[in-house]
Structure 1
Amino acid sequence: MSPAEWANANASVNTNTMRAWAYKKRGTPPNVLSLTEAMKKPTLPSDSSVLVQVAYTALNPVGAYVMQLVPECLRAKGTQFVPEMDFSGTIVEVGPGVPSERELDVGTSVFGSVDVKAHVRQGAGALAEYVAVEADSVVKKPASASLEEVAGLGVAGATAISLLASTRLEKGMKVLLNGASGGIGHIMVQLVKNAVGPDGRVVAVCSGKNAAMVQELGADEVIDYTEHRSLPQYLTKRFLISRFDAIFDSYGSQDLWTHCPKYLRAGQPFVTVGPAISEPTPAAAFQAIKLMLLNKFWPRAWGGVPRPYVQPNCLANLGDMAELAGLVDEGKLKILTETYRFEDAQKAYDKLLSRRAAGKIVIEIREDSWANEKMM
């Protein structure tokens, strides 16, 4: 099927409206988010941008936090805001300034992530039938994966890449990974195991119900945190003599950090996504920022934890997404998803905010969209 034939087969491409989940004021998803049946379809913001018909949108905790925490004074007035940044789909329009070497033609299957500034300030988001982004915000879909699988590679994948790049892992190292079954964690299991090799050891922490999944992804041992009253106490008992060479925390456990000298070798890094926000309120967000600063800068002489605290920048970018696509095509990375219908977005947010999801939560935008991937 040619691009022109595909466009003719998808009549909604030629309409000026789209279906989207949107909100106008700050609040929780059940209170402020609603399904809009005829929202204005976005147009190309620049000559170097593309318009994508969205097949799948992935949810991230940061999307829900933006919805609930960013004050109206920082948003464009009178704008309907579409949540979420990560998506996959098919290009339906290409700006004249997009370099031909990117091979981003009409009909090309891609995945990507909306720019943070455009998302927060202008309301651009991915939980809609269409999204317009700069060409540098998308990459071609790996041939070996589906649009459903790659939808969640943007923020979660870039975060995993950034966490891994924050320390130097070597073959044969022993690594602890907390939050191993989540959106970021299940990617980290695979990246870390590939880095330490068959002679290395990846000890993963998750609930027992996800243990088999995490082991299949590469973990050498799984610790079920629900079986222990205190995870740090258990880790101290098990690993005080033979401590870890690195710890990756994709959940954000403050308790795990404060006790880590008992099971993390001296001078070795504690790499984290940052302290978990206990609830989506400004006060809780401020407390998380305060903890991050204290963890990173509080002097050891005054009682600070005597281990390097590393919290990298985790924004999606072209280089990281291209690297992730390559890993998928090489068979080194598999993305696990739990998929919801477009109309069930509220249920998907309930699962996301429970912080008990396994893999990535994605939403199928249109059953008749280009998700069937008959044209690559």
Structure 2
Amino acid sequence: MRAWTLTSSGLTLSPSHPLPVSLPASTSVPFSATSSISTAPGTTATQPTPTLTGNNLLIHITHASLNPVDLHILRLFPSWLPFRRNPTPGFDFCGRVVGVGPGVSSAGDGEFQVGDVVAGALGVGDVFWGKGSLAEYLVVDGGLVGKVPNSWKTTGREGEEVKGEEAVGPFGIAGQTAVLMTQAAGVPDQEWKGKRVLVNGASGGVGSILVQILKGRGAEVWGTTGSQEGEDLVKKCGGVVINYKTHAPVTEYLAQLFGTEEGAEEGKLDYIFDCAGSQPLYTHSPSYLKPKGKFISIVGGASQGVVPYVRNKLRPVWLGGTPREFELLLLLPGSKTVREVGRLIEEGVITRGWVDGGRVWEMEELVEAYRRLASGRAKGKVVVRVSKEEEEEEEE
């Protein structure tokens, strides 16, 4: 099968058979692409079909989406460790079930059959040990997988097919993180109506899904972004745009927008969801976040969360801490969150999965796709086509 691997310490990615030898040369950090494999046209590489045990599924992967955590893993963990030799990167996947383990039939609501289109995200342990989603076939625990609905059930898209490139983001790290962020707020689904919320980084992979969930639950949603493309995406997701470049510094603008006068607490925000990472946004939050409001972040920064956790969660107010509740989330993909994504799509709360620029990168273009992710300019999810469905290949 085709797969990408990290072949040396540092950030060198190399394609395995039968990707072409000639790839775009890297001219800058963080990625370079090399290939030491020469393959004659028409040849194939074969491996024994894995024996499936327990609740495992064998999935033919069609799409994978990239996440910022991929960059951290590629930078932090070398490929030469005994248990990580030539690891394959990637968390998110979408594809078709081609094999089921003996425990699947008794898995209750997690039951799957050969032919089902599914999506999800691998656990951190899987990817740390080198079993990533950027490979044509993958053995996955059924608890990390959700069935992809046949169509989007929402106004304007009724009956429209849910394509793999759109499903991989919502069912992957981004969608599951968005679900966890709403759950961390502690608000029942039916009580979001009328809540005033701000999503920082609303045009990114997590933010674009989070805005849809909050809006679909009835909240009043504002979303920050810094470009015209971002503004267009936030509007399509149902949010009110705040361009942080137009309204700089954005913390002063938020204080004006949501009121700072004494007794004007009702006009302030109930929740701030930080998907981009902004310490000033939290430090100045008393000017626009209610005293009982909550600031929920998913960005740990260079310290992997240690510094913001200590500074914002543990430091008391009398030592200069900010008098607003702070929560820093770390994602652990699981059956509850991935199933919840499927339910939200079925209910029409998540109206679509946004693909960055409407472009799906080909497997051969992975290095360039990672560069796009690392640029910080992606709107929605950066998606890679790992392989095509057999039906498509036969038509060609």
Shorter-chain TM-score range: 0.7 to 0.9
2:185 aligns with one of 159, 167, 174: 167
TM-score, length-scaled by structure 1:
0.84
Give 3-state SS (helix, strand or coil) of 2:324's partner: coil
Asked if residue 247 in structure 1 is aligned to residue 290 in structure 2, the reply is no
Residue 361 of structure 2: aligned partner: 340
Deviation of the 1:97 alpha carbon: 1.9
Give 3-state SS (helix, strand or coil) of 2:3's partner: strand
CA change 1:40–1:261 in 2 (3 A) is farther
Give 3-state SS (helix, strand or coil) of 2:140's partner: strand
Deviation of the 1:39 alpha carbon: 8.7
Deviation of the 1:142 alpha carbon: 1.1
* Alignment check: 8 A CA contact 1:89 1:110 kept: yes
* Alignment check: 8 A CA contact 2:84 2:130 kept: no
* Alignment check: 8 A CA contact 1:24 1:78 kept: no
CA change 1:370–1:181 in 2 (3 A) is farther
* Alignment check: 8 A CA contact 2:52 2:101 kept: no
CA change 1:353–1:25 in 2 (3 A) is same
Identity of aligned residues (%): 34
Match runs of 1:126-137 below 5 Å: 126-137=133-144
1:213 aligns with one of 216, 233, 237: 233
CA change 1:371–1:255 in 2 (3 A) is farther
Residue 158 of structure 2: aligned partner: none
* Alignment check: 8 A CA contact 1:148 1:371 kept: no
Give 3-state SS (helix, strand or coil) of 2:292's partner: coil
Deviation of the 1:321 alpha carbon: 0.8
Asked if residue 310 in structure 1 is aligned to residue 332 in structure 2, the reply is no
1:151 aligns with one of 143, 168, 186: 168
* Alignment check: 8 A CA contact 1:108 1:140 kept: yes
Following the alignment from structure 2 to structure 1, what is the Cα–Cα distance between the partners of residues 225 and 390?
35
* Alignment check: 8 A CA contact 1:59 1:360 kept: yes
Residue 36 of structure 1: aligned partner: 16
Following the alignment from structure 2 to structure 1, what is the Cα–Cα distance between the partners of residues 391 and 181?
33
Deviation of the 1:272 alpha carbon: 0.9
Following the alignment from structure 1 to structure 2, what is the Cα–Cα distance between the partners of residues 351 and 22?
19
Following the alignment from structure 2 to structure 1, what is the Cα–Cα distance between the partners of residues 308 and 388?
44
* Alignment check: 8 A CA contact 1:19 1:39 kept: no
Amino acid at match of 2:93: F
- Superposition RMSD in Å: 2.2
**How many corresponding residue pairs?**
339
CA deviation vs aligned residue, 1:230-259 (integer Å, no higher than 9, x gap): 211221232233321111111111121111
Following the alignment from structure 1 to structure 2, what is the Cα–Cα distance between the partners of residues 265 and 117?
38
Deviation of the 1:369 alpha carbon: 4.6
Asked if residue 357 in structure 1 is aligned to residue 378 in structure 2, the reply is yes
Give unpaired runs (5+ residues) of structure 2. 18-44, 152-161, 261-266
1:259 aligns with one of 278, 281, 284: 284
* Alignment check: 8 A CA contact 2:62 2:389 kept: no
CA change 1:48–1:42 in 2 (3 A) is same
Following the alignment from structure 2 to structure 1, what is the Cα–Cα distance between the partners of residues 78 and 311?
25
Amino acid at match of 2:13: L
2:115 aligns with one of 98, 102, 107: 107
TM-score, length-scaled by structure 2:
0.80
CA deviation vs aligned residue, 1:148-196 (integer Å, no higher than 9, x gap): 211122211111011101114432121111100100000010111123x
